[in-house]
Structure 1
Amino acid sequence: MSPVPRPEVRPLSAELVIGPVLRRVVGTRATIWVETSAPATVRVFAGPAGGEASTFSAYGHHYAMVVVEGLAPDTATPYEVFVDGARVWPEPESPYPRSVIRTRESDDTGQPVRLVFGSCRETTQHATPRKLPPDALDAFARRLMTGTEPAPDLLVLLGDQVYADIPSPAVKRFLRRRRSHEKHKPANQVVSYEEYTQLYLESWRDPEIRWLLATVPSVMIFDDHEIIDDWNSSVSWRAEVRAEPWWPERISSGLASYWVYQHLGNLDPDQIAADPVYQKVMAAADDATEVLREFGTTVGDPPDPARRFASPRSGERGPEGQEADGAPGYQWSYALDLGRTRLVVLDNRCSRVLDPEHRAMLPPGEWAWFAGLARGDFDHLVVGSSLPWLLPPGIHHLEAWNERLAGSPRPRVAAFAERQRRAFDLEHWAAFQRSFDALAKLFAEVGSSGAASISVLSGDVHHSYVARALFRGRPVATPVHQLTCSPVHNQIQSYMRPVLRLGWWRGPAVAARALARAARVAAPAVRWRRLAGPYFGNAVSTLEHDGRSAHVVIEGTTTAGDLRPVAAVDLTPGAARRPAGR
């Protein structure tokens, strides 16, 4: 690769609005995302390595995804960002350390892997009206700045990175100015693309978070609040929300902005270049608004139930750009490998199959894709799922019972169950029993084939815990765990804490199971026990793989805004770590 010539320093013609955000580091390449105030050429330099990209424009905003090439293996290289020849990063007189791009060894199969994960982050303390505990991600960033611990390989954000339906006071003031002419839209909820940009501007320009996102590679997945609470919980929910006059703009803007701000960076450089949406956007670089509007509308529209199972072959195109198996013609789930660790992050929201006869977390074609990757060559399988697979057992059985009643042919029973589903958010894996059991079966198969560990990383439920799965009727040598870390910066209602604690107790769990059995719900394919938690404060967790060993630490925030360990669990007792000195 020919080096990108370093530009002459010039006055600013366009400013950096958000970023840089370091997304993926793959071998000797890295991707860096930015938003600028005007169309521009963005260049990134990391020692002799570099890359450049022209911005694309949509909805009056301007973005670039720069691929940096030529990085040296096993190095940490400071980098600079130039916009039309003017250096915009690092900022002059910044109090923070230089942002660097860290690469792994050329052959990283024996190198440890560190994943930091969490979910559910409202904006920082000054922007929210509630007295929330300190932000765990802010605290983690401050500690990382001290250089007292190794930087993680990846930051995994598992949903509710922004709250479109519960915005901050600052965003509500912005909405009030607009709603004087938009009476048909909800007064205190984000609807348009421009309104979504305010959420990201507010959240990602938090100084510590800005530095962290510029310094640690990150991947992300949505949960419901990126769009709206209870998103795609049932057929009746979907029918009701589609009748709202503001919904088409909400779903189109929410998914288009998610693609721009979050999903695009989940892809590696080759996947970005091959992404059909990215190709269309770059072909319409002067103004890709209509491309993204059409994309958001199409991918957010539910598949036609009449075509849902029209073909057993995943990926065959059907009418209106949908897959023949009923899935929208775009996949939000993705996967990556780090050393001997495979991470597969699943879409738990957009592509759900809601037809009561075939309810599933993923459509058939996407499930086949996931199952194929889960059977691959690795030591550790990590599944990113915004919603926990294993809930407190009492809660699990209530959700399974509720799903059964919601499918009742008796209208009053079904209506009662639907009301309870929405009121108490009964829509996790337990409320998709086919998918819950299918995941258990898949894990049992993978766990019998020599994998060192299987971990499900989740958030959503505003408390943190570790649980071990125990399989019925068959020996599974591989330890399988649910690792839940939530919230990063939020707070559960006080009345829910005793309910969730009771959910782990044997007595209430047995009673809830009896209720589910009375509704003819089959026993789950696994049972599970809690190893740590529940912890109800703001938290961030670290999962480390070293050789065939796996270890997780959950850290909560103190009143002073520091982190303290609240749980540490060896997930693979007796497993070998890599030899010292390798």
Structure 2
Amino acid sequence: MTGLRLGPLLRYVDQDTATVWVETSGPSRAEVHCEGTTAGGSARTWQVAGHHYALITVVGLEPGTETPYRVTLDGEQVWPLPDSPFPTSTIRTLPPPEAAPEETAPLRMAFGSCRWAARPAGSRHDPMGPDALDALAHQMLSGGPRPDVLLLLGDQVYADETSERVRAKLARNRDLAEPPWGQVADYEEYTELYYESWLDPEVRWLLSTVPSCMVFDDHDVIDDWNTSEAWQREIRATDWWRERILGGLTSYWVYQHLGNLSPAELAEDPVLAAVRQADDGSAPLRAFAERADRDPTAARWSYRRDFGRVRLVMIDTRAGRVLPEDQRRMLDDEELDWLHEQVLDGGPGSVDHLVLGTSLPWLLPPAVHGLESWNNALCSGARGPRWARFSEKLRQRADLEHWAAFPRSFRALTELIERVATDQEAPASVSVLSGDVHHAYVTEPELDGLKVSGGGRRSRVVQLTCSPIHNDIPAVMRSGFRFGWSRAGRRLGQALERHARTEKPPFRWRRTGGPWFGNMLMTLTLHGRDASYALHQARPATSAPDGTPRSGLERVFTGRLDQAGSPAAGAG
């Protein structure tokens, strides 16, 4: 009998349709059955490198409903698991588009990044504390609020920092004294990371009942991935990198990327069609990954999701970079044009809230922004070749490769946000969600001097950064980030920019919350034109009534995103 190896993961959900992803132990027909309705769906599995997968489109759901479901393989039920202690997984659809805000519940987006499923081998980090995803599952099991969507903003797996259990499995097949040592080497080894991460019982149940949107960051492939042209040239010269990058991109496509797409997008995807038609889809998928690595325009990992009048645009900030120093950009021209099209689609007044997801923060602590801007200018030769060599080493060692290190792209994203925020029928809020930096903070650009076209009120613009879900940060870096927000830190950033003769940022930004450290999730709640956010930290386990240890989420900060004032009030 074919069994369920991983999943189900509930991925895309709209008013009447959903997708459910599974990995199975062999070829089969996978079916989703929705209790009490005629809704459901089925799909034959397809194969990559000897592993079998299905992405099932569920149709016939009713808008604004919550429907329990089960999964069968060749007619045999495989989910819920026998004797499962968890409630039946459900699909909660979006309300009908014509529903008035007062007739619907708020949309709740929970988000974060950077999750170790288990402590890496040889780690010298402090005790990590409870996993925020486990804590979210326990909160829901205790009757607490359930998010409508979970946004995982990078580092879902750590290919370069593996646990003792994973390393033991790798050592059965190769010598870990040879490159890439205890890191993963290829597609097969990547599958072990996903099993370790997503087979955690609470996390598995959570991902089966809360839709998820994902995007990669560097550790999904390797630390410093695509930091610079020099980094890329050096790593491509190694004899192990090709299999690593092909394994990273192909496994991301299978385990994360496909679930980000709508059924209509899946139906038009030529790579998925080729994989499904092949006896084993490894060859067409590897060819696609090869093209995507060599040419950023050959693949688009960014995507858009609309939740009624809330628009989410998830931006790839890793694989599509342009790295030659004289052309350096986070997004190439084609990707930037796509971003404009998605953000502006429908014209003024088409959305109440715009949410931009990016694994890397747009707005950093001012000292860090100045440091990255200074470093980028010196790497480009602003102070001569000796400074350039020193700065490249510093860039790679200190991970100086956020939006601030790509000034042209930083300005382009800023200009797009300003354009949206000052439109005559601007959305109530523009939120930039990010992770990566292993702490959380809230910051707002000071755009009060911007005039709104045709009168009216501009959007409230905010960046919400939340990381990690389950990881840690050394004490010295905590002190560094605190300093980065200080007045002295701002002055240091400005001094570095003057030294490198870089262009000053077009505006200032102020921290309105944080920094916070620990394992966290943040939730953005949107209802009509109202918006608010809350930060929750995972707390140590307590005992449930049946004696089961359960971690919990504790709210540590909240805020509201009331729409900004009129141009006249802000212009003074």
Q: Same fold per TM (> 0.5)?
A: yes
Query: Deviation at 1:72?
Result: 1.4
Q: Distance in 1 between matches of 2:156 and 2:243?
A: 20
Q: 2:248 maps to which residue?
A: 254
Seen in structure 2, the aligned counterparts of structure 1 residues 480 and 574 have a Cα distance that, compared at 3 Å, is: closer
- For each residue in 1:511-535, what CA deviation from the matched residue of structure 2 results, as whole angstroms up to 9, or x when unmatched? 2212212211111012110111100
Give the TM-score of the pair, scaled to structure 1. 0.90
Matches within 5 A, 1:246-325: 246-284=240-278, 286-301=279-294, 303=295
Seen in structure 2, the aligned counterparts of structure 1 residues 125 and 143 have a Cα distance that, compared at 3 Å, is: farther
Query: Deviation at 1:411?
Result: 2.3
Q: SS of the residue aligned with 2:233?
A: helix
Q: 2:6 maps to which residue?
A: 18
Q: Work out whether residues 125 and 134 of structure 1, in 8 Å CA contact, stay in contact via their aligned partners in 2.
A: no
Q: 1:421 maps to which residue?
A: 395
Q: SS of the residue aligned with 1:545?
A: strand
Q: Distance in 2 between matches of 1:19 and 1:540?
A: 22
Q: Distance in 1 between matches of 2:460 and 2:341?
A: 20
Q: Work out whether residues 124 and 135 of structure 1, in 8 Å CA contact, stay in contact via their aligned partners in 2.
A: no
2:518 to 531, 537, 541: 537
Q: Does 1:471 align with 2:420?
A: no
Q: 1:139 maps to which residue?
A: 135
Q: Distance in 1 between matches of 2:143 and 2:107?
A: 18
Q: 1:462 maps to which residue?
A: 438
Q: 1:208 maps to which residue?
A: 202
Amino acid at match of 1:528: W
Q: Does 1:447 align with 2:435?
A: no
Q: 1:384 maps to which residue?
A: 357
Q: Distance in 1 between matches of 2:96 and 2:417?
A: 30
- In structure 1, stretches of 5+ residues that fail to align are 1-12, 304-326, 576-582
Q: 2:148 maps to which residue?
A: 153
Q: Distance in 2 between matches of 1:120 and 1:86?
A: 36
Query: Deviation at 1:127?
Result: 9.0
2:54 to 57, 64, 73: 64
Query: Deviation at 1:42?
Result: 0.4
Amino acid at match of 1:531: T
Q: Distance in 1 between matches of 2:108 and 2:563?
A: 18
Q: SS of the residue aligned with 1:551?
A: strand
Seen in structure 2, the aligned counterparts of structure 1 residues 574 and 428 have a Cα distance that, compared at 3 Å, is: closer
Q: Distance in 2 between matches of 1:365 and 1:574?
A: 32
Seen in structure 2, the aligned counterparts of structure 1 residues 472 and 241 have a Cα distance that, compared at 3 Å, is: farther
1:235 to 216, 229, 253: 229
Q: 1:527 maps to which residue?
A: 508
Q: Distance in 2 between matches of 1:76 and 1:461?
A: 36
Give the TM-score of the pair, scaled to structure 2. 0.91
Q: Work out whether residues 369 and 404 of structure 2, in 8 Å CA contact, stay in contact via their aligned partners in 1.
A: yes
Q: 1:437 maps to which residue?
A: 411
Q: 2:171 maps to which residue?
A: 176
Q: Distance in 1 between matches of 2:246 and 2:119?
A: 30
Seen in structure 2, the aligned counterparts of structure 1 residues 100 and 293 have a Cα distance that, compared at 3 Å, is: same
Q: Distance in 1 between matches of 2:216 and 2:352?
A: 27
- For each residue in 1:256-309, what CA deviation from the matched residue of structure 2 results, as whole angstroms up to 9, or x when unmatched? 00000000000011111111110111111x2111112212222112x3xxxxxx
Q: Work out whether residues 122 and 128 of structure 1, in 8 Å CA contact, stay in contact via their aligned partners in 2.
A: no
Matches within 5 A, 1:555-570: 555-560=536-541, 561-570=551-560
Q: SS of the residue aligned with 1:24?
A: strand
Q: Distance in 1 between matches of 2:414 and 2:534?
A: 24
Query: Deviation at 1:128?
Result: 9.1
Q: Work out whether residues 22 and 218 of structure 1, in 8 Å CA contact, stay in contact via their aligned partners in 2.
A: yes
Q: Distance in 2 between matches of 1:442 and 1:507?
A: 30
Q: 1:226 maps to which residue?
A: 220
Q: SS of the residue aligned with 2:172?
A: helix
Q: 2:569 maps to which residue?
A: none
2:466 to 485, 488, 509: 485
Query: Deviation at 1:185?
Result: 2.7
Q: SS of the residue aligned with 1:465?
A: strand
Q: Does 1:345 align with 2:314?
A: yes
Q: Does 1:45 align with 2:59?
A: no
Q: Work out whether residues 401 and 516 of structure 1, in 8 Å CA contact, stay in contact via their aligned partners in 2.
A: yes
- For each residue in 1:424-444, what CA deviation from the matched residue of structure 2 results, as whole angstroms up to 9, or x when unmatched? 110000000111111111111
Comparing 39-48 with 399-408, which one deviates more in the overlay? 39-48
Q: How large is the Cα RMSD of the aligned pairs?
A: 1.7
Q: Does 1:90 align with 2:66?
A: no
Q: SS of the residue aligned with 2:297?
A: coil
Q: Work out whether residues 109 and 339 of structure 1, in 8 Å CA contact, stay in contact via their aligned partners in 2.
A: no
Query: Deviation at 1:328?
Result: 2.8
Q: Work out whether residues 382 and 457 of structure 1, in 8 Å CA contact, stay in contact via their aligned partners in 2.
A: yes
